[in-house]
Structure 1
Amino acid sequence: MEKILIVDDSILQAAQLKKILDDEYEVTTAHTAEEGLRLASADNYSLILLDVVMPGMDGFTLLKKLQEEIITQNVPVILITSLSDIENEQYGLILGAVDYITKPFHPLIIKARVNTHVKLYNYRRQIELQSRTDQLTGIANRRQHDSYSISKWNEAVRLQTPFTICMFDIDRFKVYNDTFGHPAGDKVIAAVAKTAASSLKRSTDFLARYGGEEFVGILLGDSSEKAFAHLKKIRQDVEDLHIAHDPSVSQWVTVSIGGVTVIPQKGSSYASYLKIADTMLYDAKKSGRNRVIWADEKMKILCEK
């Protein structure tokens, strides 16, 4: 059931709106702008109904704050107010509200407009999801990686938590494509992605197809030893798929993995450590493939095999 947040200092009016929408939505109410901001930032809402005239922080100010927060800036907001002049309506729409309903309102109008904006929000969210998903594998694509990685890097800097970046690609993939054809190669890419994704499924894990047969994984909170052991298992799981390779180069399809674990410091950049992970991947390939090479928090190199 879709979630809707009502922010209105009038307990009576908030209850009236809740009653109108309760049969179709999971409705939460807040009676101050501060409480509304806290609730909006703590859950996933499909729509916010916001009263404009409230003591202390008014609805226009709260709308500005919602637009500034990453987690709430895309949630549609309908302003509900007794201010019926054109200037206030224009101001609310300029600030980012998707609609403006004046009091007194009719229940059927509320329902119709809420339904419309929830449907539009879900449609936009689906389109956004498709634009950030790799169509072949179903995991995140490079676009999603680029935005997610920077956001999580900044979070790790703030919280001083270990941040792991790993890069891996399929060994001798060009030979595989030349031998078995590109449709078979696509199936291998999808199989490797599925295998890795089945192990990187915690809320703190992230996996993206970076390009071609190359992938990037991000793990938050794990020590280098734990991350190294986890990625060694993924490497083994891919080998254990027993996908036949060209026998002139390898018995099975395998992957090489390079990674780095760091506690990010202020002023450091994700891109510089992504390059270190890429260097570790290069070293893994140069030293025989089908192995994991890691740089720990002190830049000590951990080598499999």
Structure 2
Amino acid sequence: MEKIMIIDDSPVQAAHLKNILESDYQITTVQEPQMGLSYAREQDFSLILLDVVMPGMDGFVLLKKLQEEVATRHIPVILITALSDIENEQRGLTLGAVDYIYKPFHPMIVKARVNTHIKLYQYRKQVEYQSMTDQLTGIANRRRYERVSEQKWQEAIRLRVPFSICMMDIDHFKKYNDTFGHPAGDTVITAVSATAGRYLRRNTDFLARYGGEEFVVFMMGDSSRQAFEQMCRVRRAVEELHIPHSGSVSEWVTISAGGTTVLPKRGDSFDTFLKIADTMLYDAKRFGRNRVVWNDENMRQFSE
């Protein structure tokens, strides 16, 4: 069931809207605009119904804040208002509202407009999912990684929790392709991504295909030791698939991984720590492959 949030300082009006919609949708009602902004950041809403006239922070100001944040700008917003002049309607639409519902409203009109925008939102999500999914493996692609990286980074800053970035790739992959062919190489990439995905299934984990045989992982909230040990489990699980490799290189297909954990603060650059993770991957290769090398919160390196 799709989730809708109603932000309205009037409990009576919020309850009326909820009564109209709750048979078809999961409804959350909020009276405080700032609380509505927090809920929008933390939960997965398909639509927001936002009253324009509220004390303190009016609907226009809140709409602007929702549009400015990466985590909330994708949520469609319908403004609920008694202000029927063209100037206010133009202002709301310019700020990013998808529609207006005027007071006093008719239940059938509310249902019809909400249903239309929920369907549009679902269609857009499906199109976005397809455009941000790697066609070979079914995991996130480079495009989705670029969007999620900034979102997760800012979330870690806001929540003041550790953020781990890990780069991993398949050892001697060119040699594997040269020996067994590209279709077999695609099968290996798929097997590695599926294996990693079984260990990175929490809401705080993110796995994407970075390019070719290389992958990128985010973990939020884990210490450096916890993140390191999780990637060690992934590495061992890939080795235990026992996918034969060329005997002149190694017996089985393996991966190497390099990562870093940081407690990010405002002003820190995500790209700086991505480069550190990439350097750790380089060290894992240099130290003999089939291993994990990590950089902890105090910039100290350790490995398997």
Call closer, same or farther: CA 1:101–1:289 in 2, change over 3 Å.
same
Call closer, same or farther: CA 1:265–1:27 in 2, change over 3 Å.
closer
Call closer, same or farther: CA 1:22–1:204 in 2, change over 3 Å.
closer
CA distance in 2, matches of 1:205, 1:219: 5
Aligned to 2:89: 89
Aligned to 2:164: 164
- TM-score normalised according to structure 1 size: 0.89
Does the 8 Å contact 2:50/2:80 carry over to 1? yes
Superimposed CA distance per residue, residues 8-31 of structure 1 (whole angstroms, 9 cap, x where no aligned partner): 344443333222212211222234
Are 1:80 and 2:76 an aligned pair? no
Call closer, same or farther: CA 1:194–1:33 in 2, change over 3 Å.
same
Gap regions ≥5 residues in structure 1: none
Helix, strand or coil: the match of 2:90?
Answer: helix
CA distance in 1, matches of 2:104, 2:33: 21
Q: CA deviation at 1:83?
A: 2.1
Aligned to 2:191: 191
Identity over aligned pairs, percent: 65
Aligned to 2:234: 234
Helix, strand or coil: the match of 1:302?
Answer: strand
CA distance in 1, matches of 2:199, 2:68: 35
Helix, strand or coil: the match of 2:197?
Answer: helix
Equivalent residue letter for 1:60: F
Helix, strand or coil: the match of 1:277?
Answer: helix
Gap regions ≥5 residues in structure 2: none
Equivalent residue letter for 1:63: L
Superimposed CA distance per residue, residues 8-65 of structure 1 (whole angstroms, 9 cap, x where no aligned partner): 3444433332222122112222345345444434432211222223344332233223
Aligned to 1:284: 284
Call closer, same or farther: CA 1:71–1:270 in 2, change over 3 Å.
closer
Aligned to 1:30: 30
Aligned to 1:273: 273
Helix, strand or coil: the match of 2:75?
Answer: coil
Helix, strand or coil: the match of 1:243?
Answer: coil
CA distance in 2, matches of 1:85, 1:163: 47
Equivalent residue letter for 1:219: M
Superimposed CA distance per residue, residues 244-279 of structure 1 (whole angstroms, 9 cap, x where no aligned partner): 112232221111122223334554422222222222
Aligned length: 304
Equivalent residue letter for 2:146: D
The worse-fitting range, judged by mean Cα deviation, of 219-228 and 165-174 is 219-228
CA distance in 2, matches of 1:33, 1:294: 42
Aligned to 2:249: 249
Q: CA deviation at 1:155?
A: 4.1
Call closer, same or farther: CA 1:298–1:177 in 2, change over 3 Å.
same
CA distance in 2, matches of 1:291, 1:206: 20
Helix, strand or coil: the match of 2:250?
Answer: coil
CA distance in 2, matches of 1:162, 1:253: 31
Does the 8 Å contact 2:70/2:151 carry over to 1? no
CA distance in 1, matches of 2:35, 2:154: 26
Aligned to 1:45: 45
1:184-223 → structure 2 map (5 Å cutoff): 184-223=184-223
Aligned to 1:175: 175
Aligned to 2:67: 67
- TM-score normalised according to structure 2 size: 0.89
The worse-fitting range, judged by mean Cα deviation, of 162-171 and 266-275 is 266-275
CA distance in 2, matches of 1:266, 1:66: 20
